[in-house]
Amino acid sequence: MILAEPPASQGDVHFRVLGIPVRIHPFFWIVALILGIQGSEAPPARVLIWIVALLLSITIHELGHALMQRRYGGRPRIVLYGMGGLAICDDCDRSTRSQILISLAGPGAGFLLATALLIAINALGYGAGVSLGNLNLPAIPGLIGSNMLGLIFYWQPFPSDPANRMVSDLLWINVMWGAVNLLPIYPLDGGQISRELCLLGQPRQGMMRSLQISIVAAVAMAIVGLSWGSFFVVLMFGYLAYSSYRALQAYRASLW
C-alpha cells in the first residue's frame, strides 16, 4: 500500500521469482512484526508463522501484478514495503484495458492461492471447503475455520497447531486483503481501477471523480471500522481518506 518506490537501503533483501526481481525493504519486517504481535502475550512461534504467511501472500499478490505487467510488454520489479508492496513497471502498456487487468491480477493471485490451499488440504485427506454462511462450525465436531465476508472457510484440523495457524493466516490474508484491495480507494488496486474507468471520456473530471469516490469509500470504511471497534481499521482508512482529500485539493489547484 504505497504510492512510490522507497529508496534503497543497506538492509534490503534481494531475490528473484520467475525471473522478476524482488526487493524487501526493512520496514516491511517491522510492520509485519507489529501486526503479528497483536498484544504482549503473542508467542514468538505465532508471530513467526504470521510473518511467513504475510511474506508469501504479499509476494504472490505483487507477483500477480508483475506477471500481467510482463504479459503487456513490461519489465517489472517488485518491492515489499510497509503494509504491502508495489509492482513497478515503467514500460508496460498503459491502455485502460491493460491497466485494469494488471490491477485485478494482484487480488486474483491471492484468491487463487487461497483456492489452491483448500485443494491441497483436500488432496492431503483433510476435508476443506467454503460455505455461504449457513454452517455452524462450533456445532460440528472435527472442523475448524473462520468467517470472512459472509463465507465460512473450514477444514479438518491437522495434528500440528502451527500448521492450522498457517492455514488460517494464509486464508485470512489472501481473502480479506484481496477484498480490501478491490475497494475504490487510492492507492489500493480498486482505486486504480476506479481511476481508469473514470478517466474514460473526461480525463480532468474523471480524475477528480475518482478521488471523490476514494474519499467517500474510505470514510465509509472508517465508519465501519468504528462500528467494529477496530482502531487499526479506523486509522488506516481515515489516513487514506485524508490522503485522497489532499490529492484532490492539489489536483484542483493544478487546473487553475
Interval 45-55: pLDDT, tens:
999 999 999 99
* Structural domain boundaries enclosing 197: 183-256
Q: What is the pTM of this model?
A: 0.91
Q: Is the pLDDT of residue 135 over 90?
A: no
What is the pLDDT, as a whole number, of residue 256?
63
In a domain, 215, yes or no: yes
Q: Where are the beta strands (DSSP E) in 82-199?
A: 84-88, 128-131, 144-148, 151-155
Interval 197-220: pLDDT, tens:
999 978 889 999 999 999 999 999
In a domain, 193, yes or no: yes
In a domain, 217, yes or no: yes
Average pLDDT over residues 235-246: 95
Please report where in the chains the cell 501486526 appears, as a residue: 35
Query: Average pLDDT over the chain, rounded to whole?
Result: 91
What kind and span of H or E run contains 117?
helix 96-123
In a domain, 171, yes or no: no
In a domain, 103, yes or no: no
- SS3 of residue 52 by DSSP: helix
Burial class (CB in 10 A: 0-12, 13-18, 19+), 195: buried
Tally of domains in the chain: 1
Q: Is the pLDDT of residue 177 over 80?
A: yes
Region of poorest pLDDT, from 86-95, 110-119, 133-142, 162-171: 133-142
In a domain, 233, yes or no: yes
Q: Is the pLDDT of residue 87 over 60?
A: yes
In a domain, 216, yes or no: yes
In a domain, 214, yes or no: yes
Q: Is the pLDDT of residue 18 over 60?
A: yes
Q: Is the pLDDT of residue 134 over 80?
A: no
